[in-house]
Amino acid sequence: MDAKEFGAKLKEIRKEKKLTLLDLKARTGYSDSYLSQIENGHKDMPKPALIRTLAVGLDISHIYLLRLAGYSDSYIDVENGSLRYEGNDPLKNDNRQNKKRTIDVELPCTEKINMETEEQTIRELTDDELRRRLFDFHDLLSMEIDLYYKNEFLTDEKRNKVRKILELIFE
């Protein structure tokens, strides 16, 4: 299924649920114009996190939408609805520098943008932006995820201290 077919099916589901684009906007946080672009196939196939958000907004199974979008069952963890990403696995390769293994990682893949009209909109991050943010200290410290240093949880206070130290070093 391509993005246009997926969008048409998404629109069909939304209409079956008797929801407008404004209703879906309120339920997902995405602008109605962005949702319309998805439904009309003017955007690439949505990423899993966006699909999950759409599923919640439409009150349907995110597994169903992931499959509809073409994500194969080998990549979907049906139990929690996450995707499996390929990484380094020390057991699958004898070459120590190229060891690979698979881990499940969930990252926030959207960011809120304040518009000039004082309205907020949500923008989906590209894969390149996600990769960079995964290893960017500033972004990691800003994400709403649990962070640790030597097995000790970083509280908001400790995160702020780390930010200040890094600012002193780099700015």
Distance, CA of 85 to CA of 41 (rounded, Å): 26
57 CB-contact burial (10 Å; exposed 0-12 / middle 13-18 / buried 19+): buried
Tell me the pLDDT of the chain averaged across its residues. Answer: 78
pLDDT band with cut points at 50, 70 and 90 for residue 110 = confident
The pair phi, psi for residue 128, each rounded to 5°, is: -65, -40
Nearest to 91 by CA among 106, 102, 82: 102
Distance, CA of 47 to CA of 53 (rounded, Å): 10
Q: Does 87 have pLDDT greater than 80?
A: no
CATH 1.10.260.40 fits 3-103, yes or no: yes
pLDDT band with cut points at 50, 70 and 90 for residue 12 = very high
Task: With beta carbons less than 8 A apart as the criterion, state whether 9 and 68 touch.
Answer: yes
- Alpha carbon 22 to its chain's center: 22
Quick one: pLDDT at residue 11?
94
pLDDT band with cut points at 50, 70 and 90 for residue 88 = very low
**Which H helix or E strand runs over 92?**
none
Parts of the chain belonging to CATH 1.10.260.40: 3-103
Q: Does 14 have pLDDT greater than 90?
A: yes
Residue type, 6: F
Quick one: pLDDT at residue 8?
94
pTM of the predicted model, to two decimals? 0.47
